Amino acid sequence: MTSEQTKPHVSLVIPVYNDREALEKAVPAASAALAVICDKYEVIIAEDASTDGSCEYAARLANENPHIIHMHRDERGGRGSALALAAEQALYDIYVYFDVDLATDIKHLKSLIYAISQGCDIATGSRLLPASDITRTAGREIKSRGYNFLVRTLLQSKVHDHQCGFKAFNRQKLLSLLPEVHDTHWFWDTEVLVLGQRAGYKTCEMPIHWRESSGTTVKQSDVFVMGRSILELWWRIHAP
């Protein structure tokens, strides 16, 4: 893809809830990267009832830059539901999202996008591939490996890391999955990956450079909810 006419068209989504400081870094970084990679693009700020100024900041950016879309909700619906709504409203057929904290190095964005343009239906960054360069606490490492082991074992997924917030999709394939996706928050990522594989969609996993962020909004209670969600999805898949 060397000519301007063959560059991809991309809708990139940044889900955000009360993270104004991170948003101020993520949006310019995303816009700068996409301007080089893409012919046409949009940055959708999926802002989910924030109360810390993220809403006002996102609205100002959207007014100043035609490439930026501010998608606001007055009541919080959850990260997963925000990503699903953005997929329905996106303009372009390559749909990308990454977490606002930029834990995954944005240098991988080009590879993620081109994986879709070259035939993958789903592309995801992985912190658990041998070639990945990650830094995080031992506690989070143990929880992540335990969680992903359960998903791979119980739900028969071939993916190593289901919860990395750095993914891209053939948008039409993603839209076909959404009616079957029940979760509206953190388990949404896992559910989409598992259902996508079961539908026969080509799923590509890539190593990344990743650094733990102190601003994560994942709570201890979310871990237990996601464990229960694994069992609920297993039952949905296997129930007669």
Report, as residue numbers or ranges, the catalytic residues.
189
Q: What is the 3 state secondary structure string of the chain?
A: CCCHHHCCEEEEEEEECCCHHHHHHHHHHHHHHHHHHCCEEEEEEEEECCCCCHHHHHHHHHHHCCCEEEEEECCCCCHHHHHHHHHHHCCCCEEEEECCCCCECHHHHHHHHHHHHCCCCEEEEECCCCCCEEECCHHHHHHHHHHHHHHHHHCCCCCCCCCCCEEEEEHHHHHHHHHHCCCCCCCHHHHHHHHHHHCCCCEEEEECEEECCCCCCCCHHHHHHHHHHHHHHHHHHHCC
Q: Taking the CB of residue 155, how many other CB atoms lie within 10 A of it?
A: 22
Q: Which residues contact 221 (CB under 8 A, 6 or more apart)?
A: none
- What length is written for the chain? 240
CA–CA gap between residue 234 and residue 237 (Å, rounded): 5
